[in-house]
Amino acid sequence: MSSEAQTITEVSAQDVEEAERLKSEANAYFKKQDFNAAIEFYTKAIEKNPNVAIYYANRSFAYLKTECFGYALTDASKAVELDKNYVKGYYRRAAAHMSLGKFKEALKDYEYVTKVRPSDKDAKMKYSECNKMVKKIAFEKAISVEDNKKNISDSINLDAMTIEKEYTGPELEDGKVTLKFMKDLMELYKKQGKLHRKYAYKILLDIKAYFMKQPSLIDITIEDDDKFTVCGDIHGQFYDLMNIFELNGLPSETNPYLFNGDFVDRGSFSVECIFTLLGFKLLYPDKFFMSRGNHESATMNQMYGFDGEVKSKYTAQMADLFTEVYNWLPLAHCLNKRVLVMHGGLFSRDDVTLDEIRKIERNRQPPEDGPMCELLWSDPQPQPGRAPSKRGVGCQFGPDVTKKFLELNKLDYIVRSHEVKNDGYEVAHDGKCITVFSAPNYCDTMGNKGAFINLNGRDMIPKFTTYEAVPHPNVKPMAYANSLLSLMC
């Protein structure tokens, strides 16, 4: 019996009809961009009739929209298994591979489509683009000798950069960031102006030198009566970042902040976001903190827009320098020895200690597994135990895993980001695992609120502020993203 024959399940005519009805309902939710509801109804259709490739391909697309790349890949593969000639299944699988940075695997699927549809211009274009990326990555690997690889930062000559007379934007004072500079910078960005490249490079060189001296886990002390604010993903939504400062006050010595990763990508004002955040970090190094997210990586930046945006607004050299800076970002912060904050989540092992996190060698691109990967990529799940990640990277961890980790490390709870939540936040695992997400109406489509957390040193009880998206100039999210992602936008 062939493997194809084994996948066919006996289904009644009534179930076939009901499955089609459920698919239509799912499609309607998808059109309204309610992707979670669409997934729910595609799943019901599959339960009624598991033999139809299009149900899996459609659910795969909805999973892509909700960044569940691992699930999207599984569904696309199932669609192809059910119908070897279903071209859309190969497209979906290629998109899932691309989203995970697996360009060689994506190329195989695009290659198949071009063979079965030799006159399909779209397939040819995608194959050609993907092939270019695979070759570029292979070339970069070949020329980079890790042992004596030169740092971009060593090759930058600030003295050779002149400030043109026409430049009227903010200026560093004696090479330093001041509060006036930061206020002028934010006003410049609100009007869609650009910081001079000399100052932009200076900020990057200074911040890299600072981060290089920091441990992978930063300990923060919050005094009893002091307020401390934790923000989640910003994703290039500069005008929403300005709204946070409007609602909660500008960062200062008495108004400290922690931004918990994913400052860039998707939103098309990522350059403005990152320079604002790095500027405040230089201005208040002991009162303003930044964690690395899974989008502070070269692969994600090439796919989701930051790399393209930096090249458009500045240079390819600066895009490479950002990669060097991101490699030195701290991976986690511990507040008053009671609360651990990281971008993604917990681990595939039960014995990970704060000391192990502190000692992680982080100056690299995120690995595909292990504690550094999991800090950036993992997600909580409601059921106990662990499961493979819906994203295809990291792991999913249940309330029992959270409890054990907290007990081992004598902590009260964890705060993480990394996932869109309708209210901008979610309290899970018996109050021990908090998600905060600060990009409202994510990608201009999700309709979610944003949120930030305030707490004080005395009781460390989280208080949530939620807010709606504010208007921004007419530049769509993903404007600078890789053209291959057009399938997913």
Residue 371 placed within a domain:
yes
- Final residue before a domain boundary, out of 143, 178, 210: 143
Do 288 and 388 lie in a common domain? yes
406 vs 146, residue with greater confidence: 406
| Domain identity same for 56 and 185 | no
Question: Same domain, yes or no, for 331 and 417?
Answer: yes
Q: Which two tokens stand for residue 384?
A: 């106990």
At residue 471, what is the residue type? Answer: P
CATH number assigned to the domain comprising residue 24:
1.25.40.10
Cβ(388)–Cβ(71) below 8 Å: no
Q: What is the pLDDT of residues 284-314, one digit of tens each?
A: 999 999 999 999 999 999 999 999 999 999 9
The contacts of residue 382 (CB under 8 Å, 6+ apart) are 398, 399, 428
Whether residue 70 is contained in a domain is answered as yes
Look at residue 149 and tell me if it is in a domain. Answer: no
What CATH number should be reported for the domain holding residue 298? 3.60.21.10
- List, for residues 413-440, the tens digit of each pLDDT value: 999 999 999 999 999 999 999 999 999 9
394 belongs to a structural domain: yes
CB burial of 182-204 (b: ≥16 within 10 Å; e: otherwise) equals bebbbebbeeeeebbbbbbbbbb
Identify the burial level of 250 via C-beta atoms within 10 angstroms of its C-beta, where 0-12 means exposed, 13-18 middle and 19 or more buried: middle
pLDDT tens digit string along 322-380?
A: 999 999 999 999 999 999 999 999 999 999 999 999 999 999 999 999 999 999 999 99
Counting the structural domains of the chain, the total is 2
136 with 160, same domain? Answer: no
Mean pLDDT of all residues in 196-221: 98
- Quote the pTM value: 0.93
Counted residue by residue, the chain has a size of: 489
Answer yes or no: do 293 and 207 share one domain. Answer: yes
1, pLDDT greater than 90 = no
Active-site residue, from 196, 235, 295, 418: 295
Give the integer Cα–Cα distance in Å for 405 and 353. 8
User: Which percentage of the chain shows pLDDT scores above 90?
Assistant: 86
**Active-site residue flag, 333:** no
Position 148 in a domain: no
Interacting residues of 218 by C-beta distance below 8 A, sequence separation 6+: 289, 330, 332, 333, 334
The pair phi, psi for residue 387, each rounded to 5°, is -145, 160
Q: Are residues 234 and 277 in the same domain?
A: yes
Mind spelling out the 3-state secondary structure of 153-165? HHHCCHHHCCCCC
Domain of 434, in residue numbers: 155-488
Last residue of a domain, one of 95, 116, 143: 143
| Residue 38 shares a structural domain with residue 167 | no
| Domain-terminating residue out of 143, 164, 198 | 143
247 and 112 within one domain: no
Q: What is the pLDDT of residue 3?
A: 43
Same domain (yes/no): 167, 116: no
- Do 194 and 314 lie in a common domain? yes
Domain assignment present for residue 171? The answer is yes
Q: What is the Cα–Cα distance from 340 to 432, expressed in whole angstroms?
A: 11
Is residue 150 included in any domain, yes or no?
A: no
> Across residues 243-260, what is the average pLDDT?
98
Asked if 384 and 235 sit in the same domain, the reply is: yes
